[in-house]
Each structure stands twice: as C-alpha cells, then as structure tokens.
Structure 1
Amino acid sequence: MEIFVLASGSKGNMTYVKNDIKSFFVDAGINLKSIESKMQAYGEDISQVDTLLITHEHSDHIIGLKALLKKGFIKHVYLTKGTYQALSLDVKTLLPEKHIIKADVPFKLFDYDCLPIMLSHDANEPVGFRFDWNDKRFVYLTDTGYVDASYMDVLKDADVYLLESNHDPKRLLDSRRPFQLKQRILGMDGHLSNEDAALLINKLTKNKKATWIVAHISEECNHQFDIEKAIVDHVENLLNIQVVFASQEALEGIKI
C-alpha cells in the first residue's frame, strides 16, 4: 500500500491511496488543476482512479469535487448519508454510483477492509477511516475535536496514521481570528490540538512502530516546533514513530 498526500490543511485536503490492484482518493479539497498536476508529479494516471471516499462536506474537503466528477472517470463515491444530504443539488446530480456508509459498520473496498470512524466535528455525519490490506493498516483521522476512547483498540498498532495536529492553543488564542472561530476550533466539535494529537499517537503506538503523517496543520496558529515539543512532552517512546509533516505541497509517497 502507498499513501500520497496531495494537500493537507485549511486550504485543502486530499489523499491518494493505492496498492497493486486498486487505487482511490480520500476527499477532493483542492481544484482539479492542482489534482492533475500533483498526480502527474507522482507519475500517476488520474484517469485510472475510479473511486472517491468523502469524509465530510466542508469546502476544504470537497472544493474540487464538482470538477472531478465532471471528468467522468470517478465511478464510485463512498460517503455517509449526512454528508450526501449536505451536498449541493448540482453536485448530487453529478454523483455516479454512490455507496452510503455508516460509522462503525465495516465494508469492503475492493481488496481493502474499511472501517468508518465516527468523528466529533461541526459537519453532518463526518467520518475518518481505518484501511486494512493484507497485514498492513492505515488510519485516516482529521477534523475532529476528540477521538472517543472506545476506538483505541480498533485504531492501535497501525503502520501509518494520517492524524491531524491542528493548532497550538496559545497561538490560536493570541491570533486575530474572531472569538467565535477560536471557540469552535477549541471545542469538542473542532480540531485536535498538538497536545491532543501527541497524547493520542502515544496511546496508539505503544506496541508497534508507525509513521505519523501530521496533517491539517494550521498555517496561522501552529508551527512545526510546537508540534515537535508536544511530541517530546507526551510520546513515551520517541523511537516508535517516524514523523512526516503534511502541507499544501504534494508529499512523497509512503509505502507500507
């Protein structure tokens, strides 16, 4: 399995996953021109990708959806009922075969075993994902105020985590953002802080080494140094994680 981050952050989010048999996108939060150029940079043929999974309907996850669907090569779209209902009518009319999924109900995606994970975010039924293929596991979790403790067993011991470390609370509170936006981000339906993310990754990687793709990093309210400090402060075995920082630039593929 290979994981390619096309973009990550408040300006747009999209990931490409492939194995020897099948490939798919998670979200479409950048414009079509960027999708095409980044896939070309990876040496990948965008027209061979016929499947898209959508985590939720916020614009930084679906801004490129309409244009992507118009190209005609996406044949399968997986999303929750709530996400589907939140899409605009013009996008709904373009959807090819849609597959309604539900948190905690596993499904097969070709030869991948997929488990949608319930998130806590101010969207209409958002989900993350656990992908299993052969003996490899990839966990995709962004845009959530917290991760419920009941998920620890199903999320632990993955090979790769694409997990958000969105903000440093002090930088956020000191920023010029509106107070209501600060409250939203800090709340249970907002985003994981650096400390939240580091504490979570520490729990999930106690028994196995993993790669952490640090995702959805706020450009205004975070800094790599703050994330690294949280990791040092809260991860018990620093040798258990390889840390890779995602951004709006295409990220070299990670193979597991």
Structure 2
Amino acid sequence: MEIFVLASGSKGNMTYLKVGDIKLFIDAGISYKKIKDKMTVYQENMYDVKSLLITHEHHDHTNGLKMLLKQSFIEDVYLTKGTYDALSVDVVCLFQNTHIITVDIPFSISDILVTPFMLSHDAAEPVGFVVQHDDKKVVVLTDSGYVDQSYYQLLSNASLYILEANHHPTKLMHSPRPFLLKKRILSELGHLSNDDAAWLMNLFVKDGVSKWVVAHISEDCNTIFDIEESIIKAFDDPTKIEVFYATQEGLPGIKI
C-alpha cells in the first residue's frame, strides 16, 4: 500500500491510497486544479482512480467534489446517508454509483476491506475509515472531538495512521478567533488536541512500529514543536512511531 496526502488542514483535505491496481481518493476538499496538479507532481494518473470515500460534508472536505465528479472518471462514491443528505442536489446528481455505507459495517472495494467508524464532529454523520489489505492496515481519523473507547481494538496496531493533532489548547484560547469557534473546536464535536492525539497513539500502537501522519494541523494555533512535546510527554516509548507531518502542501507517498 502507498498513501499520499494531497492536502491537510482547515483550507482543504484530500488523501490518495494506492493498493496495486486499486486506487481511491478519500475526500475532495481542494479545487480540481489543485487535485490535478498535485497528482501530476506525485507522478500518479488521476484518471485511474475509480473510487471516492467521503468522511463528511464540510467544505474543507468537499470543496472540489463537484468539479471532480464532472470529469466522470470517478465511478463509485461511498458515504453515509447523513452525509449524502447534507450534500447539495447538484453534487449528488453527478454520482455514477452511490454506495450508502453504515457505521461499523465493513465493505469491500475489490480485495480491500474498509470499515467505517463513527466520529464525534458537528457534521451530519461523519466517519473515519480503517482500510485493510493483506496484513496492512491504515486508519484515517480526522475531525473528531474524541474517540469512543469501543473502537480502541479496531484502531489498534495499524501500519499507518492519518490522525489529526489539530491544536494546542492554550494557543487556541489566546488566538483572536471568536469565542464560539474556540468553544466548538475544544468540544466533543470539535477536533483532537495535540495531547489527545498523542495519548491515543500511545494507546493504539502496541506491537512493533507504526507510521503516524499527523493531519489537520492548525496553522495559527499549533506547531510541530508543540506536537512533538505532546508525543514525548504521552508516549511510554516514542521510538514505536515514525512521525510525518501533513500540511496544505500535502505529503508524498509513504509505502507500508
């Protein structure tokens, strides 16, 4: 498996997964031009991608969806009923094959197994994804105020995590953002802080070494230093993870 981040952050989110001949996108939160340009930079053929998974309807995850679908090479779209209903009619009418997925019920894309799991975010029916192929496992977990403990076993011992460490709470509270926005981000329907993310990763990674793509990093309320400080504080053994930082500029392919 190979994972590419096209963009990550409040200005747009999109991921590309490649498993042999099977290629899929997760979200489409950047413009079609940026999608095309980034795939060219990564030397990947965008038109080989036939499947799209959508985590939720927020603008930074669906901004480029309409123009992407208009190109007509995406054949299958996977999303929850809540997300489907929250998208505009002029977008969903472009779906070729719509697959309504249900939390906790795995589905297959060729020989890839995908398990959608519930997130806690202020969206209609947001989900994360566990993607498995052979002995490899990828967890995509962004845009959630917390993670329910019933998912700890499902999420443990993945080969790679795309997991958000969105903010440093003190910097967020001292930022010029409106109070209601700060309250939303800090709530159970908001985003994981650095300490939240590091604590979870230390819990999830038990056997061997995993890769952690730190995602959805706030540009004004967080820094790599802050995240690393949380990792050192939370981890019983920081050497059990290899850390990568995804930004709005993306992150080149990581093989697992």
Fold similarity call, TM over 0.5? yes
Q: Does 1:210 align with 2:205?
A: no
| Structure 1 consecutive aligned stretches of length 4 or more whose deviation exceeds 2 Å | none
Q: Does 1:158 align with 2:158?
A: yes
Cross-structure match for 1:231? 231
1:208 shift after superposition:
2.4
Q: How does 1:1-256 map to 2 (within 5 A)?
A: 1-256=1-256
Q: C-alpha separation between the residues in 2 aligned to 1:84 and 1:64?
A: 16
Q: Secondary structure at the match of 2:213?
A: strand
Q: C-alpha separation between the residues in 2 aligned to 1:85 and 1:79?
A: 10
1:190 shift after superposition:
0.3
1:88 shift after superposition:
0.5
- What is the identity, as a one-letter code, of the residue corresponding to 1:203? L
- What is the identity, as a one-letter code, of the residue corresponding to 1:102? T
Q: C-alpha separation between the residues in 2 aligned to 1:152 and 1:110?
A: 26
Q: C-alpha separation between the residues in 2 aligned to 1:93 and 1:130?
A: 27
Tell me the TM-score normalized by structure 1: 0.99
1:138-167 Cα deviation digits (max 9, x unpaired): 000000000011111111010000000000
1:19 shift after superposition:
1.2
Q: C-alpha separation between the residues in 2 aligned to 1:36 and 1:183?
A: 36
Q: RMSD in angstroms over aligned alpha carbons?
A: 0.6
Q: C-alpha separation between the residues in 1 aligned to 2:155 and 2:187?
A: 23
1:17 shift after superposition:
0.1
Structure 2: gaps of 5 or more residues: none
Structure 1: gaps of 5 or more residues: none
Q: C-alpha separation between the residues in 1 aligned to 2:220 and 2:107?
A: 37
1:252 shift after superposition:
1.4
Q: C-alpha separation between the residues in 2 aligned to 1:120 and 1:20?
A: 32
Q: Does structure 2 retain, via aligned residues, the 8 Å contact 1:206–1:237?
A: no
1:250 shift after superposition:
2.6
- What is the identity, as a one-letter code, of the residue corresponding to 2:119? L
- What is the identity, as a one-letter code, of the residue corresponding to 1:55? T
Q: Does structure 2 retain, via aligned residues, the 8 Å contact 1:163–1:197?
A: yes
1:185 shift after superposition:
0.2
- What is the identity, as a one-letter code, of the residue corresponding to 1:222? N
Q: Percent identity?
A: 56
Q: Secondary structure at the match of 1:206?
A: coil
1:186 shift after superposition:
0.1
Tell me the TM-score normalized by structure 2: 0.99
Q: C-alpha separation between the residues in 2 aligned to 1:179 and 1:107?
A: 40
Q: Secondary structure at the match of 1:125?
A: coil
